[in-house]
């Protein structure tokens, strides 16, 4: 499937296409108008000469007829100057042609013979090849002055000048329109960029929420985007509300089930009958199953929740405070080694559950001390945009042989029944870590005991 073009490129390219079309059309229209203006101007100029000659002939003066070119235009006197007149008497039966000196010995062709049609005033106009081989524009009119005869009057001018003017004009027009087009391209790009900026801001805000750097969209948006931002905030809030509700329900369920289980266990413990042991045993199984599936339910409720991040230092300190109290009779030393405060990309409760289980495990086995240390994972793969940190929990207890470490990670895998616990701790840590794209590894601590290392995503 071909990926859809971005909105920016859609807007930009459509703006460019429309702009270019408009510019080309504008250029063509302006050039055409200029061309017709030039032609009209030439026609008007020749028409003036034509009417002057017509006036001379109509005056009936032979002298004037013989030299009607007193038009005040020196170009009529210069040979092959590009400006010509020619008067041909049509009713004499013989060739009676008079022309300007500029025509020399040449004659102007008759447009009527070349098939040009006359207009309403009886004037023909057309472009033909002139006496010097140049392009000329001819105005031709036949007048009848009664007894004085019928004359064909022709005025011609070379079109070279107007062609030159037109070409020059077109070049300047093209340059102007090209510059205008370039400006439009730049302005379109700026306009698209400016217009879509709120969208980019929104994109950045949503990304920040997904990464857990923010918990709601807070930017200032244009009026037409505000409903979208507000809907997104509502959706994020709703998502969080569902999570909170699920968590509360799970907590209530835990309370609702575990209290009666306590009553049953204690009632049965006092009962001396043979069935009571079986009941107590089954209740213990129910307790384990309940804990396991409630944990899964909590985790499932939390999965894919966006916009969550957790500062880990206070959590580790809080857990250590708790474990110092829990293991106070054992006088365990808890040491924290943290050079940096990382932000865990996930829920506080999950982080506490993972590290709490590891500390609980370490505390049960440690002889004198438990060390918790945190370090950043160097980012080796540039394509992998996720950053991680590792929390190591080490103890100075007996440790765990490599072949038993996998067993310890299995659900219910208890390697020593003399220690309290359900056997779910490390399995829960592993499941939760995997859910967040991390991992749990067990190894040998330099202090002699177990070293549990949980890798988790950070911001």
Partner 1 sequence: MRLLVIEDDRDLNRQIVNALEQAGYAVDRAYDGSEGYFLGETEPYDAIILDIGLPQKDGLSVLEDWRKAGIKIPVLLLTARDRWSDKVQGFDAGADDYVAKPFHMEEVLARVRALLRRSTGHATSDLICGPVTLDTRAGRVIVNGLHVKLTSHEYRLLAYMMHHAGRVISRTELIDHLYDQDFDRDSNTIEVFVGRLRKKLDVDIIQTVRGLGYILIAPEADNKSVPSV
Cα angle vertex 285, ends 353, 299, to 5°? 30
CA 135 – CA 325 distance, rounded (Å): 111
Instruction: Give me the least distance between CB of 271 and partner 1, in Å please.
Output: 12
Where helices occur in 271-386 by DSSP H, the ranges are: 274-302, 312-326, 348-365
Instruction: Give me the least distance between CB of 231 and partner 1, in Å please.
Output: 32
- Burial 114-149, CB ≥16 within 10 A → b, else e: eebeeeeeebbbbeeebbeeeebbbbbbbbeeeebb
Instruction: Give me the least distance between CB of 319 and partner 1, in Å please.
Output: 6
Instruction: Give me the least distance between CB of 366 and partner 1, in Å please.
Output: 17
Q: Based on C-alpha coordinates, what's the Rg of the chain?
A: 50
Of the pair 9, 262, the CB lying nearest partner 1 is at 262
Instruction: Give me the least distance between CB of 346 and partner 1, in Å please.
Output: 13
Of the pair 352, 395, the CB lying nearest partner 1 is at 352
Cα angle vertex 273, ends 268, 275, to 5°? 70
Instruction: Give me the least distance between CB of 401 and partner 1, in Å please.
Output: 27
Instruction: Give me the least distance between CB of 4 and partner 1, in Å please.
Output: 44
CA 432 – CA 437 distance, rounded (Å): 9
Instruction: Give me the least distance between CB of 377 and partner 1, in Å please.
Output: 24
- Which residues make up the interface to partner 1 (CB under 8 A)? 251, 254-267, 269, 283, 287, 291, 295, 298, 315, 318-319, 321-322, 325-326, 328-329, 348-349, 352-353, 355-357, 360
Residue 171 class from Cβ within 10 Å (0-12 exposed, 13-18 middle, 19+ buried)? Answer: exposed
Of the pair 51, 287, the CB lying nearest partner 1 is at 287
Q: 425-435 and 274-302 are packed helices; what angle lies between their axes, rounded to 10 degrees?
A: 20
Instruction: Give me the least distance between CB of 432 and partner 1, in Å please.
Output: 11
Using DSSP's 3-state secondary structure scheme, residue 454 falls into: strand
Instruction: Give me the least distance between CB of 279 and partner 1, in Å please.
Output: 12
Of the pair 217, 250, the CB lying nearest partner 1 is at 250
CA 441 – CA 70 distance, rounded (Å): 114
Contacts of 256 (CB under 8 A, 6+ apart): none
Of the pair 42, 424, the CB lying nearest partner 1 is at 424
Of the pair 148, 311, the CB lying nearest partner 1 is at 311
Closest to 305 in 3D by CA, of 352, 245, 229, 218: 245
Do residues 368 and 430 make contact, with C-beta atoms less than 8 angstroms apart? Answer: no
Residue 304 class from Cβ within 10 Å (0-12 exposed, 13-18 middle, 19+ buried)? Answer: exposed
Instruction: Give me the least distance between CB of 226 and partner 1, in Å please.
Output: 37
88 membership: H or E segment, kind and range: strand 83-89
Of the pair 255, 383, the CB lying nearest partner 1 is at 255
Contacts of 42 (CB under 8 A, 6+ apart): 137, 157, 159, 162
Of the pair 140, 347, the CB lying nearest partner 1 is at 347
Contacts of 281 (CB under 8 A, 6+ apart): none
Of the pair 197, 321, the CB lying nearest partner 1 is at 321
Of the pair 119, 267, the CB lying nearest partner 1 is at 267
In Å, what is the CA distance from 274 to each residue of 279, 281, 283, 285, 286?
Answer: 9, 12, 15, 18, 19
Of the pair 328, 383, the CB lying nearest partner 1 is at 328
């Amino acid at each position: 499937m071909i990926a859809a073009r971005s909105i920016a490129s859609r807007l930009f390219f459509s703006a460019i296409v429309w702009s270019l079309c408009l510019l080309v059309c504008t250029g063509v229209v302006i050039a055409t108008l200029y061309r017709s203006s030039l032609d009209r101007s030439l026609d008007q100029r020749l028409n003036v000469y034509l009417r002057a000659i017509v006036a001379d002939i109509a005056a009936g003066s032979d002298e004037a007829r013989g030299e009607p070119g007193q038009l005040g235009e020196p170009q009529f006197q210069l040979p092959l100057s590009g400006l010509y007149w020619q008067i041909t008497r049509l009713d004499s039966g013989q060739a009676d042609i008079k022309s300007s000196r500029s025509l020399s010995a040449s004659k102007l062709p008759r447009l009527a013979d070349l098939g040009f049609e006359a207009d309403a005033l009886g004037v023909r106009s057309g472009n033909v090849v002139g006496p010097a081989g140049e392009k000329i524009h001819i105005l031709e009119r036949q007048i009848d002055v009664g007894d004085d005869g019928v004359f064909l009057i022709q005025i011609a001018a070379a079109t070279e000048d107007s062609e030159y003017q037109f070409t020059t004009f077109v070049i300047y027009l093209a340059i102007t329109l090209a510059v205008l087009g370039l400006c439009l391209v730049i302005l379109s790009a700026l306009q698209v960029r400016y217009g879509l900026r709120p969208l980019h801001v929104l994109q950045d805000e949503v990304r920040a929420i997904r990464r857990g750097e923010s918990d709601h969209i807070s930017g200032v948006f244009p009026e037409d985007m505000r409903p979208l931002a507000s809907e997104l905030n509502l959706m994020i809030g709703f998502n969080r509300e569902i999570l909170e509700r699920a968590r509360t329900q799970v907590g209530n369920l835990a309370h609702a089930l575990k209290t009666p289980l306590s009553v049953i266990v204690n009632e049965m413990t006092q009962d001396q009958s043979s069935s009571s042991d079986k009941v107590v045993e089954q209740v213990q199984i129910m307790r384990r199953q309940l804990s396991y599936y409630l944990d899964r339910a909590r985790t499932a409720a939390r999965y894919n929740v966006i916009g969550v991040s957790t500062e880990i230092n206070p959590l580790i300190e809080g857990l250590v405070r708790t474990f110092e109290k829990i293991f106070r009779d054992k006088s365990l030393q808890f040491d924290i080694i943290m050079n940096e405060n990382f932000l865990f990309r996930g829920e506080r409760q999950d982080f506490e559950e993972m590290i709490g289980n590891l500390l609980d495990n370490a505390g049960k086995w440690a002889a004198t001390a438990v060390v918790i240390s945190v370090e950043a994972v160097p980012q080796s793969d540039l394509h992998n945009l996720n950053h991680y940190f590792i929390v190591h929990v080490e103890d100075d207890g007996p440790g765990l042989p490599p072949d038993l470490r996998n067993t310890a990670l299995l659900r219910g895998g208890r390697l020593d029944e003399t220690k309290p616990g359900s056997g779910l701790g490390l399995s829960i840590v592993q499941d939760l870590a995997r859910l967040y794209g991390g991992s749990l590894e067990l190894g040998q601590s330099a202090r002699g005991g177990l070293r549990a290392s949980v890798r988790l995503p950070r911001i």
